[in-house]
Amino acid sequence: MRGMSMTNTTPSRLSDRELEAEVARLARCERESTAALIAHLAELYGRRLHERAGFASLFMYCTRVLLLSEHEAYDRMKAAKVLRRHPAVLGLLASGRLNLTTIRLLAPHLTRDNHEGLFAEAAGKTKRQVQELLARRFPMPDVAASVRKLPAVSVAPIAEFPAPPAAPLLKAPAAMPPVEASHVSLPPTPPPLVRPLSSDHYRITFTASEETTRKLELVQDLLRHAVPSGDPAEIFARALDALLDDLLKQKFALTDRPRASRSAGDVAYIPAEVKRTVFIRDGGRCAFIGSHGRRCGERGFLEFHHARPYALGGEPTVDNIELRCRRHNDYEGRVHFEGPERLRES
């Protein structure tokens, strides 16, 4: 197809190593292309060519002329403006040490004196890690506890390239109105579920049902002697402690006084004391080690995995049992019984 540069090699014909290398090359090319686009957008903005073309903002130019999505346009517009003030960001973006999300998060805090240090500290970090970095460097006050009924969400057109507005709590955004020629709006973006405010304080936002809200109020009343302020943060901390203790007992038979478990016969039974030891040893995370030496570390949907399959005589011992997330438990089982080639074909 004209206008597109494609590899001449069909992906399905590549070996695993060749495929990984090609994906890495394409990702590198995409980073370099993105950096080049940012550099050209910064120059275009400096020359005010978007205005000459009839657009009141660079954001509108990106969505209408370059056909970028609203969020693609917003991130690239912010990066272009950062680049005009701090040219060093271009090389970091092209190399992959910084990405567009990181640049957008850093943008409000960058100054002539601190930009080099912030770029260096944020390099290679995830979005959550960058948010925690900024919370340490630029701490915000704790938010006041509040419980309120969610209003109906309405989306109004907004002015020149504003930041994506935060939606109330986690209410799903309403349908976008038709875009008129004179303005454009960004869809409301729900705030993160967990957002760091300072080095050891986080803002947690969620939507609760009426029943849950009434239970919270009842617990506040019952705990007035211990928590006179009725602080929801302290109440939820206590509730989570109790829930965590109960879940550990149910799922992993954790107890302060463990006792020997009884055999369950012919099924792939794992004694409670083995589950306890394995869960603590693996830190409650998937212990699968990938081809690049990276541990999965997933916390959700964990299962107990036989390193040597039970069907082949694997014993339910601490040495033979490891934690796996559901995907990696299934993956290892299929690799073992079907082989990597059969797995690849499926």
For residues 252-272, average pLDDT: 61
Q: Which residue has the higher pLDDT, 55 or 153?
A: 55
Summarize pLDDT for 27-58 with one digit per residue, the tens: 999 999 999 999 999 999 999 999 999 998 99
**pTM of the predicted structure, to 2 decimals:** 0.64
Which secondary-structure segment (H or E) carries 345? Answer: helix 326-345
Indicate the SS3 state at residue 226: coil
pLDDT of residue 250: 77
Q: What is the pLDDT of residues 61-111, one digit of tens each?
A: 999 999 999 999 999 999 999 999 999 999 999 999 999 999 999 999 999
Q: What is the DSSP letter of 160?
A: S
Q: Crossing angle for the helix pair 232-252 and 272-281, nearest 10 degrees?
A: 130
Least confident of 109-123, 178-192, 277-291, 317-331: 178-192
pLDDT at 98: 97
Give the residue from 281, 289, 277 showing the smallest Cα distance to 332.
289
Report helix, strand or coil for 328.
helix
Nearest to 188 by CA among 151, 159, 205, 163: 163
pLDDT at 191 over 80: no
Burial label, 279 (beta-carbon count in 10 A; 0-12, 13-18, 19+): buried
Q: How far apart are CA 64 and CA 51, in angstroms?
A: 13
Domain ranges of the chain: 12-137, 207-252, 272-345
How much is the mean pLDDT over the chain?
Answer: 82
- In this structure, CATH architecture of domain 272-345: Orthogonal Bundle (1.10)
Tens digit of each residue's pLDDT (9 = 90 or more) over 322-338: 999 999 999 998 888 87
Q: Tell me, what's the pLDDT at 5? A: 47
